Structure 1
Amino acid sequence: MLKGLAITPPVIGRISIGRVVEKNGKRLPEKDDQFTITTQVQNRDGWMLHPLNESLRKVSTGKLRAIPVRFLFNDPHLNLRAEYSLFDRDTGRPVCVGNGESCRRVGDTGIEELPCPSPDGCAFGRAGNCKPYGRLNVAIGDEDELGSFIFRTTSYNSIRTLAARLHYFGAVSGNLLACLPLELKLRGKSTTQSYRSAIYYVDLAVRSGSTLEDAIMQARELDARRQAAGFDQRALDTAAHAGFSNGAFEDSIEDGAEVVDEFYPSDSGHSDGPVTTADAGGEVPAVRPSLKERLDRRTVLLGGATA
């Protein structure tokens, strides 16, 4: 295994509740009030839709505001990773990642271990627009049982809610989180900062039409079948933990470029998708170079072609 390279769950698609659109040569945020499931391929119009996006939309008979999911791991921390993160906006390279106590920061002599007082108490973080940043991996359908769809967010609401739900569901099921039939749900709320406009965040719940008791019974049945077949969930969790620990930062430069493109178009706001005018205090975020332009610049900085 290559040292310094985080081995993360295989991703076969993306989940978002917003997007960045190009209008008159400018990249601007556009919010949404429903989920969108995409592939990992982009074209001129943005991310290409995944076939599941259309099939689930037909079942929902309207806007896609709930997605049936399972998790790969029993450990909540493996399914949802969240840290305070700061990215280089030009290259997409992670610069500083911390948990509120300690951080790993790229310095002149390499990666340094430093105290992390959280963004509000860190001059370096405030200057560089450090934000909470979470990545949630979920399985949708049965086509690829070890493949996942990733949901990225810089929303306190989503990170806090998802973290609580994962720990609670894991606890009440007897550590059978990977076997529980659950669903991601889109919820709305208004706050003073949103100027009474609705903002959306992601929650986790038992699937519609079912109860928590039913879900736990199904989880126990699935766990029994897996054990009978020789499926070793504990070994899978251990392998995932070792993979995450193998790198200083989870996100590669390519991943970071996507994160910067979608979540860092301005110096304000925490969102579950591209920053909206409400997130930015009623002002349209400053226009930044396109993702392709920044990747081209990164190629020049690194002195070679990108793969």
Structure 2
Amino acid sequence: MHELHSIQIEPIIQKALEEDWGYGDWTTDLCVEADRPARARIICKEATMVAGVDVAAAVFHKVDPQLNVQIKAPNGTAADNRTELLFVEGRARSILKAERVALNLMARMCGIATLTRELVKALEGTRTQLLDTRKTTPGLRILEKSATVIGGARNHRFGLCDGVIVKENHIRAAGGISAALGRLHESLPPTLKIEVETTNLDEVKEALSAGADIIMLDNMSVELMKEAVALINGKALVEASGNVRLHNIRDIAQSGVDFISTSSVITGARWSDLSLLFDV
């Protein structure tokens, strides 16, 4: 999920603008003449991975379709401090009314992409791929997951309907791993894979025996993950999850897992420092 269509992002932009504008922009409407022209640029004030510049452009076009918006640094650009990311010219009022929403969405996405790229770089030379999770800001999932892909990760399931993950509470509620997978195999569409969360080797053995397609090793030590990978021996894909950070992600990858999933690419990302500046 990288390229976003206007159908996907327009509802987010519409709601964000409604929230920001309320019932009017006193400052802009009273201080700035209606037809005063202006030119402005979005720059980054630190090194950042560019993400969401297309979303920012869409915000300006939503506010005023007559604005001339030019993307100067495409998504996926490793931008240095003070790099110009986007140029816009047209009515000053329109630029001012779009400014905060455009910066908020883009800064959030740049921050996620930047952190994601750091984690992906830490995996270079291993066979392990980085995945995101469903721990996203409500209403912004499609933007945040797009940002992780721009940073070099792959998307895990977008929603509950995309795949099956039998987690600890599902196992308890269903009466065990075997019972849960038995019911799934009876009724699940055959195109969907089944993933099972495990916390020890006994659960790994049960998930493997029950026919799991993917086995998640949740909060296991690296040594225990190595044992689990050897036990699975290619009979299922293996995903590691839990307490993944930049300082330990490479050690986890070297256990031999296929994937590492972490919510930290989103929950641990800070916003990139961006500014919109009017030309004098």
TM over 0.5: no
Greater strand percent: which structure? 1
Larger Rg: 2
The alignment's TM-score, normalised by the length of structure 1, stands at 0.22
The alignment's TM-score, normalised by the length of structure 2, stands at 0.23
